[in-house]
A = this chain, B = another copy of it.
Amino acid sequence: MALQPTLAVVGATGSVGTVMLELLSSRRNVWGEIRLIASSRSAGKQLTCRGEQLTVAELTPEAFDGVDVAMFDVPDEVSLQWAPIVAARGVIVVDNSAAFRMDPEVPLVVPEVNREAVQYRPRNIIANANCTVMAMIMAIAPLHHEYGLRELVLASYQAASGAGQFGVDTLHDQLSKVAGDRMLGSRPGNVRQAVGDDLGPFPAPLALNVVPWSGALEPLGWSSEELKLRSESRKILALPALKVSATCVRVPVVTGHSIAVHAVFGSEVDAEGARQVLRNAPGVILVDDPESGEFPMPIDAVGTDPSWVGRIRRAMDDPRALDLFVTGDNRRKGAALNTVQIAELVAAELAR
Residues in chain A within 8 A of chain B (CB atoms): 151, 153, 155, 157, 161, 168-169, 172, 175-176, 178-180, 182, 184-192, 203-205, 208-213, 217, 220-223, 227, 230, 242-247, 249, 251-256, 258, 260, 262, 271, 288, 290-291, 293, 295-304, 310-318, 321, 323-325
Contact = CB atoms under 8 A, between A and B. Distances in A.
A221 B187 contact: no
A223 B70 CA distance: 47
Contacts of A324: 247
A312 B225 CA distance: 16
B221 A312 contact: yes
Could you say how many copies of this chain the assembly holds?
Answer: 2
A318 B245 CA distance: 9
A151 B203 CA distance: 31
The dominant DSSP class at the A interface is mixed
Contact of A247 (B184, B301, B323): B323
A312 B192 CA distance: 24
A152 to B, nearest CB: 10
Contact of A301 (B188, B220, B242): B188
15 contacts: A161-B186, A176-B180, A184-B254, A186-B302, A192-B299, A204-B299, A209-B299, A210-B258, A213-B290, A217-B290, A243-B318, A245-B317, A245-B321, A247-B323, A247-B325
Contact of A253 (B209, B222, B296): B209
B325 A249 contact: yes
A243 B155 CA distance: 18
7 closest cross-chain pairs (CB), A and B: A185-B254, A155-B155, A179-B179, A155-B260, A243-B317, A247-B260, A203-B293
Contacts of A157: 157, 210, 249, 251
Nearest to A311: B212
Given A212-B295, A290-B221, A311-B221, A188 B304 contact: yes
A72 B181 CA distance: 30
Given A208-B299, A220-B314, A249-B325, 16 more contacts: A153-B262, A175-B179, A176-B179, A185-B253, A185-B302, A187-B303, A204-B299, A209-B253, A209-B299, A210-B298, A212-B297, A243-B315, A244-B316, A245-B315, A247-B311, A260-B260
Contacts of A316: 222, 227, 230, 244-245
A320 to B, nearest CB: 12
A221, A258, A298, most chain B CB atoms within 10 A? A221
Contact of A221 (B155, B175, B313): B313
Nearest to A288: B221
A297 B199 CA distance: 15
B297 A258 contact: no
A271 B220 contact: yes
Contact of A251 (B184, B210, B245): B210
A230 B185 CA distance: 29
Contacts of A260: 155, 212, 247, 249, 260
Nearest to A230: B316
B220 A297 contact: no
Nearest to A252: B252
A325 B212 contact: yes
A180 B207 CA distance: 13
Contacts of A256: 185
